[in-house]
Amino acid sequence: MRPHRWLRVLKTISAAMTVEYELPRDPAKGLRLFAEDVAFTPDNPNALSTEGNEIGEFLAMMKATYPQHYAITLLGFAIGHRPSTLRPLRRKGRMADLLFHDDGTARLIVRRSNSRGQEIMESTKTRAVVVVELPKEVADVLKEHIAELDKTALTRRSDLLFPSRITGEIQSKSALQKPFNNVAKGLGLKKRITPKSMRRTFKDLARAAGVEAVVRKAVSGHATDRMDQHYSTAGAGEKRAAVAAVVSIATARAKRASEG
Stretch 75-83: mean pLDDT, rounded?
91
Tell me the domains of the chain and their CATH numbers: 1-37 (no CATH), 38-230 (1.10.443.10)
3-state class (DSSP) for residue 81: coil
Query: Following CA atoms 242, 243, 244, 245 in sequence, which dihedral angle do they give, to the nearest 10 degrees?
Result: 50
Give which of 62, 63, 133, 66 is closest to 101, Cα–Cα: 133
CB 172 within 8 A of CB 143: no
Distance CA 131, CA 129 (A): 7
Q: Express as a percent the part of the chain with pLDDT over 70.
A: 78
CA neighbours closer than 13 Å in the CB half-sphere of residue 254: 6
Q: Residue 37: what pLDDT?
A: 42
CB burial class (10 A; 0-12, 13-18, 19+) of residue 29?
Answer: exposed
Q: Residue 238: what pLDDT?
A: 47
Whole-model pTM?
Answer: 0.72
Residue type, 17: M
pLDDT one-digit tens code per residue, 189-224: 999 999 999 998 988 888 888 888 888 778 877 555
pLDDT one-digit tens code per residue, 12-46: 888 888 878 888 888 887 776 654 444 566 667 89
